[in-house]
Amino acid sequence: MPTIASLKKGQKGIIKTFSLDLVPLKLLEMGCLPGNEVTLVQLAPFHDPLYLNINGSHLAIRKEIAAQIEIELIP
Amino acid sequence: MAQQINVALVGNPNTGKTSVFNRLTGLNQKVGNYPGITVEKKEGLSKLGRGKKAHILDLPGTYSLNASSVDENVVIELLLNKNDKDFPDVAIVVCDVENLKRNLLLFTQIKDLGIPAILAINMSDRMQRKAISIDIPAMEARLETKIALISSRKNEGFEYLKELISNYKNISTKACMDATVIAPEYFERLKRTFPNQELYKLWLVITHDVNFGKLDRNEFKGVGSFQIESTGTLKRLQQKETIKRYQFINETLKETLFIDTANAKDLRSRFDRVLTHKVWGYVIFFGILLLMFQAIFDWSSYPMDFIDTTFASLSEWMMHTLPPGDFTNLLAEGIVPGLGGIIIFIPQIAFLFLFISVLEESGYMSRVVFLMDRIMRKFGLSGKSVVPLVSGTACAIPAIMATRNIENWKERLITILVTPFTTCSARLPVYLIIISLVIPEERIMGIFSLQGLTLMFLYFLGFASAIVSAYLLDKVLKIRNRSFFVIEMPNYKVPMPKNVVITVVEKTKSFVLGAGKIILAISVILWVLASYGPSNFKKAESLVMEANKGNDISQKELEAKIASFKLEHSYIGIIGKGLEPAVAPLGYDWKIGIAIVSSFAAREVFVGTLATIYSVGSEEKETIRNRMAAEINPILGAPQFNFASGVSLLLFYAFAMQCMSTLAVVRKETNSWKWPLWQLFFMSSLAYIVALGTYQILN
Ligand SMILES: Nc1nc2c(ncn2[C@@H]2O[C@H](COP(=O)(O)OP(=O)(O)OP(=O)(O)O)[C@@H](O)[C@H]2O)c(=O)[nH]1
């Protein structure tokens, strides 16, 4: 199952599921919820952190968390 | 008392809350602290017209009422406590028109508390560029509120906003949605037990560890039995709540907010392509840092020279004009030089905060965090440590407070512990004066001034020690912590001059007043200690005359001998002599020893202390620097400030934890004495050892 961490720059996906224990509440409140669209905007060197557009909000998270959030790729 | 309406400004970070606050209150504002914690409390008065006034409180930015930091706790503690004197009659929820979807989450929560809430949609000047239009009446109906479309940048819509505040009684207190559907049975039970309470309010009280001391306990007697045992269950409910709220918001926006994507212009991606680029991003960041240091060291030297000479002449003028006596001496020898030592900082502090506030306002700081996170993590820090470390070059106190948005406790603790290594502006006067005394005024290859390079090296040393200690701490500290790093990447904006000016003025003012008080007190104490003494001091004149009987010396020399005899036998001289064995191996005499001890309160006191000690009893008031250059060490018979002792002093100040206020802030932020004491011990021993080694080798 692909996760946000496996997105390529410019690629989009739909958030499927994630373990609630590993993802902070703040991220949910910023729009990271199942069903929402996520785009990878930019990558820092070493593929970490990731600069995302989730549901219209622009934010950056570390790869560690990104790898917990499963998505379905939009071709 | 005239009617005053209590207003609280709430909103997500970066929605322009502070700008709205500045527009509403002008310079009529006051920045303080919430009692017991170091969260900034900003309040001000706003004239609403027709004799009405509003007391405006700017609450810390928060994404939701599910608080997870001290700053956010302030918000929910206030909103839950009807008895607080600041409890709002009406809340203004500030939103960014481009981020309405996310910003409204907080709005729906506030509505659930039954507090009348006005929705202020800010940045309306951006609507055209982004091709956004809003059906205000429809949105007002859906959200059960009144909406003011405002632009702090263009100063539009504030008249209407003030009118809404004046007539806050007309604003509905009804909730706009029902969040209790996430656990119907649970909330049904809660309602039966507390028929008169807002359910959402109870929910927050139950799920949060807020300060119940301030809440009326009786009001909530019995909530204990509703506690949710497992954090897993709680989080699942909070997720459900969030989803529920977003559903409502999405439905609302679908019918009321229209974006014509074809016509929207996007600057963000164009800027980001360069500013977060793998190579250019870093080049630009270092370029900005260079520019910043150039401003702090080069441009500010002109006003600083001016201040220095002005205070020297002021003190001389007082000596000559005021009637002679203890009071004049205290003024001219104690207070004026002491004050000069602090006012001289203003240009540098102002430049630094100017840069920091422009970088923050423009949205660039978040890009720096993004670029630096991975690198900083190698040293146990976070990308968010960059802001504290850079602010640390102004002052460690605001810098340590700025660590609050680092979610990971270990990374935050390490940042707090190492920030005092960065070269704060209080070290600058010490560095500048010593460098000008012991480093030759030469240029290398005709371009780089040797003195400038030395200063740059000291800054580099500060950062390097911070980074190396962070690395060591990361290895030593056994704290397990998951990284919950989330950072918003705001839109790029041209900073608003009004905001920048207010930040610079506020920060400079609080620095000068805070440090000024300490310095003033210490100067007075030092002056007293230096101007009085036990029996030998009182008999100074006759003793010196006695000793020099038969020697053929001029009146002037005799006076100088008396003055230095007096100083040595004053209380301060006695203390200093006692200290001498400890500082002599580092190359210092007792006067420097005194200056080091008194500058434990704050580093910049060092120069002021020497100024006070040297000017006591001396006839001419010269600049401090000339006075120091002329100082002869009686044992060596050579200038006291030579290369070896100078470098040793520079390094001492580079490492030593010489700042009481920083220790106090570390105590507050870490909630224990363990860390500040540890920090004090570690930094001071390091400083002593390095200074000792340096002097012994160079000498
Ligand atoms: N275009 C536009 N920009 C604005 C407006 N109001 C504020 N800004 C900009 O928005 C950014 C954030 O403003 P602040 O007032 O610092 O926002 P804040 O909500 O207090 O942010 P925090 O201090 O992080 O909580 C700044 O760059 C402002 O210049 C507005 O009406 N129009």
Does B120 or B625 have the greater pLDDT score? Answer: B120
Residue B1 has what pLDDT?
A: 46
Distance of CA A58 to the CA centre of its chain: 11
Contact across the interface for B485 and A30, Cβ inside 8 Å: no
CB A47 within 8 A of CB A1: no
Query: Does the C-beta of B16 come closer than 6 Å to ligand 1?
Result: yes
- Let me know if B62 is exposed, middle or buried by CB neighbors in 10 A (0-12, 13-18, 19+): buried
Contact across the interface for B488 and A57, Cβ inside 8 Å: yes
CB atoms within 10 A of CB B264: 12
A5 touches chain B (CB under 8 A): no
Closest CA of chain A from B477, distance in Å? 21
CB atoms within 10 A of CB B331: 16
| Nearest ligand 1 atom to alpha carbon B21 | 15
- Average pLDDT (B341-363) is 83
Does B556 or B583 have the greater pLDDT score? Answer: B583
Summarize pLDDT for B296-306 with one digit per residue, the tens.
767 877 888 88
Taking the C-alpha atoms of residue B567 and residue B649, their distance in angstroms, rounded to an integer, is 23
CB atoms within 10 A of CB B149: 18
Contact across the interface for A59 and B66, Cβ inside 8 Å: no
Least confident of B217-221, B277-281, B461-465, B631-635: B217-221
Out of A30, A31, A42, name the one closest to residue B272 (CB). A42
Residue B405 has what pLDDT?
A: 77
Query: Does the C-beta of B15 come closer than 6 Å to ligand 1?
Result: yes
Query: Does the C-beta of B123 come closer than 6 Å to ligand 1?
Result: yes
- Average pLDDT (B453-457) is 86
- Average pLDDT (B189-193) is 84
pLDDT-based confidence at B642, cuts 50/70/90?
confident
Q: Within B62-114, where are the H helices?
A: 70-80, 100-112
Summarize pLDDT for B231-247 with one digit per residue, the tens.
778 888 888 889 999 99
Contact across the interface for B99 and A57, Cβ inside 8 Å: yes
| Strand partners of residue B49 | B52
- Average pLDDT (B523-549) is 79
Contact across the interface for B66 and A33, Cβ inside 8 Å: no
- Average pLDDT (B89-96) is 95
* Total residue length of chain A: 75
Summarize pLDDT for B645-675 with one digit per residue, the tens.
999 999 999 999 988 778 888 888 888 889 9
A41 touches chain B (CB under 8 A): yes
Structure tokens that stand for B105 in this block? 């989450």
Query: Does the C-beta of B272 come closer than 6 Å to ligand 1?
Result: no
Report CA-CA distances (Å) from B91 to B3, B32, B137, B172: 17, 21, 20, 12
Judge whether residue B112 has pLDDT over 70: yes
Per-residue three-class SS string for B112-171 = HCCCCEEEEEECHHHCCCCCEEECHHHHHHHHCCCEEECECCCCECHHHHHHHHHCHHHC
Query: Does the C-beta of B14 come closer than 6 Å to ligand 1?
Result: yes
Chain A interface mutation, best of B480, B484, B492, B493, highest count of A Cβ atoms under 10 Å: B484
Query: Does the C-beta of B18 come closer than 6 Å to ligand 1?
Result: yes
Answer whether the bond into residue B13 is a cis peptide, omega within 30°: no
Contact across the interface for A51 and B236, Cβ inside 8 Å: no
Widest distance between CA atoms in chain B: 105
Q: Within B419-496, where are the H helices?
A: 427-438, 450-476
Chain B interface mutation, best of A4, A42, A61, highest count of B Cβ atoms under 10 Å: A42
A9 touches chain B (CB under 8 A): no
The residues near B341 (Cβ < 8 Å, ≥ 6 apart) are: B429, B519, B604, B605, B607, B608, B611
Contact across the interface for A24 and B232, Cβ inside 8 Å: no
- The sheet carrying B29-33 orders its strands as B29-33, B40-49, B52-58, B4-11, B90-96, B117-122, B147-149
| CB pairs < 8 Å spanning A and B | 109
Question: DSSP code of B606?
Answer: H
A33 touches chain B (CB under 8 A): yes
Taking the C-alpha atoms of residue B269 and residue B684, their distance in angstroms, rounded to an integer, is 48
| Residue type for position B126 | R
- Average pLDDT (B406-420) is 91
Chain B interface mutation, best of A17, A29, A52, highest count of B Cβ atoms under 10 Å: A29
Taking the C-alpha atoms of residue B121 and residue B100, their distance in angstroms, rounded to an integer, is 8
CATH superfamily entry for domain B3-170: P-loop containing nucleotide triphosphate hydrolases (3.40.50.300)
Residue nearest to atom 26 of ligand 1 (CA): B361
Summarize pLDDT for B565-608 with one digit per residue, the tens.
777 788 888 888 888 899 889 989 888 888 888 787 778 778 77
B484 touches chain A (CB under 8 A): yes
Taking the C-alpha atoms of residue B172 and residue B141, their distance in angstroms, rounded to an integer, is 11
Centroid of ligand 1 to alpha carbon of B526 (angstroms): 46
Contact across the interface for B487 and A46, Cβ inside 8 Å: no
Judge whether residue B448 has pLDDT over 50: yes
Taking the C-alpha atoms of residue B541 and residue B536, their distance in angstroms, rounded to an integer, is 9
- Average pLDDT (B371-385) is 92
Closest CA of chain B from A36, distance in Å? 11
The closest alpha carbon to B187, from B179, B416, B387, B688, belongs to B179
Does B127 or B631 have the greater pLDDT score? Answer: B127
Beta-strand ranges (E) seen in B489-542 are: none
* φ, ψ (nearest 5 deg) of residue B689: -65, -45
Query: Does the C-beta of B156 come closer than 6 Å to ligand 1?
Result: no
Sign of CA dihedral B217, B223, B228, B229: positive
CB B621 within 8 A of CB B332: yes
Q: How far apart are the first and last CA of chain A?
A: 15
The closest alpha carbon to B149, from B20, B308, B335, B279, belongs to B20
Judge whether residue B620 has pLDDT over 60: no
Q: Where are the domains of chain B?
A: 3-170, 179-263, 519-698
ipTM of this predicted structure: 0.94
Residue B304 has what pLDDT?
A: 83
Residue B141 has what pLDDT?
A: 93
Task: Find chain B residues with C-beta within 8 A of A21's C-beta.
Answer: 232, 235
Centroid of ligand 1 to alpha carbon of B385 (angstroms): 22
Residue B110 has what pLDDT?
A: 93
Contact across the interface for A60 and B489, Cβ inside 8 Å: yes
Task: Find chain A residues with C-beta within 8 A of B68's C-beta.
Answer: 24-26
Contact across the interface for A31 and B235, Cβ inside 8 Å: no
Least confident of B341-345, B383-387, B475-479, B614-618: B614-618
Task: Find chain B residues with C-beta within 8 A of A44's C-beta.
Answer: 276, 278, 370-371, 373-374
Task: Find chain B residues with C-beta within 8 A of A28's C-beta.
Answer: 238-239, 242
Nearest CA in chain A to B278: A45
Q: H/E element holding A73?
A: strand A71-74
Task: Find chain A residues with C-beta within 8 A of B485's C-beta.
Answer: 49, 60-62, 65
Residue B674 has what pLDDT?
A: 92
The number of distinct structural domains making up chain A is 1
Model pTM above 0.90:
no
Taking the C-alpha atoms of residue B165 and residue B4, their distance in angstroms, rounded to an integer, is 11
pLDDT-above-70 percentage for chain B: 91
Contact across the interface for A41 and B370, Cβ inside 8 Å: no
Residue A32's domain comprises 4-74
Contact across the interface for A26 and B232, Cβ inside 8 Å: no
The closest alpha carbon to B314, from B623, B698, B675, B635, belongs to B623
Taking the C-alpha atoms of residue B36 and residue B19, their distance in angstroms, rounded to an integer, is 27
pLDDT-based confidence at B218, cuts 50/70/90?
low
Query: Does the C-beta of B12 come closer than 6 Å to ligand 1?
Result: no
CB B466 within 8 A of CB B685: no
Does B578 or B211 have the greater pLDDT score? Answer: B578
Residue B615 has what pLDDT?
A: 62
Judge whether residue B221 has pLDDT over 90: no
Query: Does the C-beta of B495 come closer than 6 Å to ligand 1?
Result: yes
The closest alpha carbon to B148, from B133, B132, B165, belongs to B165
The residues near B681 (Cβ < 8 Å, ≥ 6 apart) are: none
3-state secondary structure (DSSP) of residue B44: strand
CB B628 within 8 A of CB B433: yes
Out of A20, A51, A55, name the one closest to residue B370 (CB). A51
Centroid of ligand 1 to alpha carbon of B62 (angstroms): 14
- Average pLDDT (B276-289) is 91
Taking the C-alpha atoms of residue B137 and residue B446, their distance in angstroms, rounded to an integer, is 70
Least confident of B163-177, B205-219, B389-403, B561-575: B205-219
pLDDT-based confidence at B212, cuts 50/70/90?
low
Taking the C-alpha atoms of residue B207 and residue B109, their distance in angstroms, rounded to an integer, is 14
Ligand 1 mutation target, pool B496, B503, B507, most atoms within 8 A of CB: B496
Residue B652 has what pLDDT?
A: 95
Centroid of ligand 1 to alpha carbon of B97 (angstroms): 12
Average pLDDT over all residues of chain B: 84
Contact across the interface for B239 and A20, Cβ inside 8 Å: yes
Query: Does the C-beta of B152 come closer than 6 Å to ligand 1?
Result: yes
B383 touches chain A (CB under 8 A): yes
The residues near B621 (Cβ < 8 Å, ≥ 6 apart) are: B312, B313, B315, B316, B319, B332, B615
Taking the C-alpha atoms of residue B87 and residue B107, their distance in angstroms, rounded to an integer, is 17
Q: What is the CATH number of the domain that holds A63?
A: 2.30.30.90
